[in-house]
Amino acid sequence: MKVLWAPWRMEYILSEGEKGCFICDLAVAEPSEQNLLLFRNQNAMVLMNKYPYNNGHILVAPMAHTPDLSELTTLEYQETMELFRFSFKALEGHLKPEGFNAGLNLGKTGGAGLEEHVHFHIVPRWHGDTNFMPVISDLRVIPEAIRETYKYLRPLFDNYGEQ
C-alpha cells in the first residue's frame, strides 16, 4: 500500500470551523505567508484558500462585509472584478493550468461556506486532475504545499498596480 502524506490537512480535519468572518479579519492585516493574504487595497483583496479544492485555489473578495453583490458600491464592485480578472493571469503565469472553475456560491443552499461575506473562487484545473482518488477514497491530491504556491504568487500581486 502506498501512503499519501498531507499533514497540513490535519488542521482542517480537527478544526471546529472558522469563528467570525475570516475575510474581515484579513481586511486589517498586511499580506504575509502566515495569513495567506496575497493582496489588498481599499476595496478588495485576494487570498489563498486555506482549505483548497485544488492547487492554487484562491479567493477574491470585496472588503465590504455583505452577502449580496448588489450592496457593493460601483467602485467596490469594479475593484473586486479587476482583481478577479488579474488573478487568472497570476495563476496562469505560475501554475499554467489548462482551465479554471471560477465563480461564487451565494447563500447556504448555494454552497457558501461563509454566507455573510461574498467572495469569488478561482480553482485552476488540469486534464486528469479529477481522478479515482476523490471517488474511491474521498481524498484529493494537492501536489504543492500552499505556502510554496504563495511564494510564487505573492510577487505577481505586488506588481498588480503596474499591469
Q: Catalytic residue numbers?
A: 119
User: Locate cell 505560475: which residue?
Assistant: 94
Neighbours of 120 (CB within 10 A): 21
**Helices and strands, number each (H, E), in the chain:** 5, 5
Beta strand extents in 32-152 (DSSP E only): 37-40, 44-48, 58-62, 99-104, 120-125
44 — phi, psi (to 5°)? -155, 165
Q: Are 118 and 106 in contact (CB under 8 A)?
A: yes
Please check whether residue 61 is in contact with residue 120, taking contact to mean a CB–CB distance below 8 angstroms: yes
Give the other-Cβ count within 10 Å of 37's Cβ: 22
